[in-house]
Structure 1
């Protein structure tokens, strides 16, 4: 299936080159979290370990990314952005090279945690781009960069598998990733401002300690974090069980089909660019309503026909991806409308909440599917959406 990306205009407050470069940088850096996932079997064979042991690499990537969001991203509010970007890119490149030459699982796992902790530039780029775009234009910036993140997370799995297929060695994928990440040092830092607007002079300990106070002070942040967690829980439950569903009756399809669904949903991901512009024009609540309707329609379709129709699964997947992407953009636009000098820390809180919701959703979805099958998982997702609806009602006067 071939998907032709539309020609997207840059956000009004950014030059065309800068907007696209930030989107490309986000795609390349976020791919470092996801490209090893299809390589786990090859890693197991190459290191002479079991498949379950190789699975530690995927777990280590998620743990490292959560650490990076918690401990590194807040620095973007106070640090020199160009220096911070350069250091993160160099450390990530070094981590990828160590992983490529790892002699054993322990070295590979430690390297994965380290490189995943420093490859959090997408979460630095998002608030920075919102500031660069200016008031009333941040949604367009987030929409464009969000597409880059979606393409990076989706296509990296396919491309890394192709690289290993051609080279016959899983280490080649890490070397390619190191080259691409290191290449960003040549241009990305120069595209960013020296410091974030309104950058406060805070020591690191005070910076981290300030985040609970931000949660208490800003109801918009609490709303967006809650909404992000609940819908991402349903989103993650679907993806955590899709491979098992496709492998069972009546489909009987291999695990590779679950990866193809990422490609099948690219049209929806690309269309979600409009969410940023709509958020700028009509407000985040308008886009939340649109996105929620799409997500609910997706699960209705998946629940009624998704247990017997592959076409229904594809259509439902596109509705879910479109709704989920628009949902996240709207919530981030709401957060980034707050003071510029705290945007990185606001994004940290929002992303940690979404990450936590996704983890709960993946666990609950797998458990419900194991116990009650596809329909049980769908009903569980309906529960997460009911919680999201309550949050929307409670926060209806914020936008």
Structure 2
């Protein structure tokens, strides 16, 4: 497979309306990964399978998303962006329609993996929009799209639950998602530049094969990848164990309460927009330092008071979401300041590192919580943050 593109064309800038539309598109497409999660019980009942078997849907979504980041996102460096965007939207819409009509769990799982592989559009849009905005405004653009992704992943769970509650059928949520995703075909492609900024002609296998070399060539990428993995590990450990913590004494709350914490922390997610502007004005290192202080304060509050105080859990989760979102934005801004021609591949490597950190954090957090309780999980997260602090200190020489 050979992907051809002419030399990069001059950027004309990115208007606020275009940036907002791209952020909304990111929110709607990333929602396709997360909206099925509250529906698993209804899916299990509808298809006549166990709840644990229906959990394959959530696993398949994560596997598909990781495959898409690895194998599809790098194409944004060299492909015709409008054509790539249109193809991804149409394939995702088709996958959602197949899922809506799935007669059994096997079909639904395969459709979930397929549509999750092609719904990686947010990670295509992020480097593209950063290039369109130009160096002086890339930070605030990354911040705006980052908020879109956060809101899409959070509110999609609430929205899908409401749709199924009104319709009484889990398949309706997939049909609504297909309509929203398909509708983007009429709007989004025309807002993007025709081509990516990469080389004129690059075989697909060579495009993928260049990525390991990029890790060795760019110290800033290695720094952002390490920082992203460590803090996302602590972030994921908290969210992976929150439901268990709330279910036990003294809270004795149901699983739905863990989902509500996504809504409780929306103010922090919205405030994190400032991270993009601060990254433009003060640099990613400054924002990393601020974000790490917020995350550390979050775990301090969660550790000291979060064992028996709902208020402390809400405050701590807001600090964690704000710090984690700012941390992500700063790391991606640092990566996007590197060679414009390879931004999509750089973003791929950064996101894969973050995903790996999140997986390690989830496994570590649940294991520590099961053996040592809430305090053990908090201390484990402290270990991840200590690694992040060491990495940040070593990264100061990069500026």
Who is 1:65 aligned against? 65
Who is 1:170 aligned against? 170
Distance in 2, Cα, partners of 1:286 & 1:199: 33
* Offset from partner CA, 1:332-386 (integer Å, 9 cap, x none): 0000000111000000000000000000000100000000000000000001011
1:137 is the counterpart of 2:104: no
Q: Which secondary structure state, in structure 1, belongs to the residue aligned with residue 130 of structure 2?
A: helix
Aligned-pair CA distance for 1:201: 2.3
* Offset from partner CA, 1:10-47 (integer Å, 9 cap, x none): xx942122011000000000000000000000000000
Aligned-pair CA distance for 1:137: 1.0
Who is 1:263 aligned against? 263
* Offset from partner CA, 1:254-273 (integer Å, 9 cap, x none): 11110110000000000000
Structural mapping, 1:77-92, within 5 Å: 77-92=77-92
For the 8 Å contact 2:78–2:197, the answer to whether it is kept is: no
Who is 2:3 aligned against? none
Who is 2:375 aligned against? 375
Aligned-pair CA distance for 1:198: 4.3
Aligned-pair CA distance for 1:200: 4.6
For the 8 Å contact 2:365–2:377, the answer to whether it is kept is: yes
* Offset from partner CA, 1:185-244 (integer Å, 9 cap, x none): 001000000112344521100000000000010000000000000000000000000011
Structural mapping, 1:1-399, within 5 Å: 13-399=13-399
Distance in 1, Cα, partners of 2:250 & 2:136: 49
Distance in 1, Cα, partners of 2:388 & 2:144: 25
For the 8 Å contact 1:230–1:388, the answer to whether it is kept is: yes
RMSD: 0.9
Distance in 2, Cα, partners of 1:76 & 1:192: 11
Who is 1:5 aligned against? none
Q: Which secondary structure state, in structure 2, belongs to the residue aligned with residue 90 of structure 1?
A: helix
Distance in 2, Cα, partners of 1:199 & 1:314: 48
Aligned residue pair count: 388
Distance in 2, Cα, partners of 1:319 & 1:200: 45
Q: Which secondary structure state, in structure 2, belongs to the residue aligned with residue 308 of structure 1?
A: coil
Distance in 2, Cα, partners of 1:42 & 1:200: 49
Q: Which secondary structure state, in structure 1, belongs to the residue aligned with residue 210 of structure 2?
A: helix
Distance in 1, Cα, partners of 2:33 & 2:102: 17
Distance in 2, Cα, partners of 1:213 & 1:234: 28
Distance in 1, Cα, partners of 2:364 & 2:13: 42
Q: Which secondary structure state, in structure 1, belongs to the residue aligned with residue 201 of structure 2?
A: coil
User: TM-score of the superposition, structure 1-length normalised?
Assistant: 0.96
Structure 2: where are the runs of 5+ without partners?
A: 1-11
Distance in 1, Cα, partners of 2:337 & 2:263: 33
Q: Which secondary structure state, in structure 1, belongs to the residue aligned with residue 253 of structure 2?
A: coil
Who is 1:9 aligned against? none
Who is 1:7 aligned against? none
Q: Which secondary structure state, in structure 1, belongs to the residue aligned with residue 397 of structure 2?
A: coil
Distance in 2, Cα, partners of 1:201 & 1:135: 26
Distance in 2, Cα, partners of 1:196 & 1:389: 35
* Offset from partner CA, 1:256-300 (integer Å, 9 cap, x none): 110110000000000000000000001000000000000000000
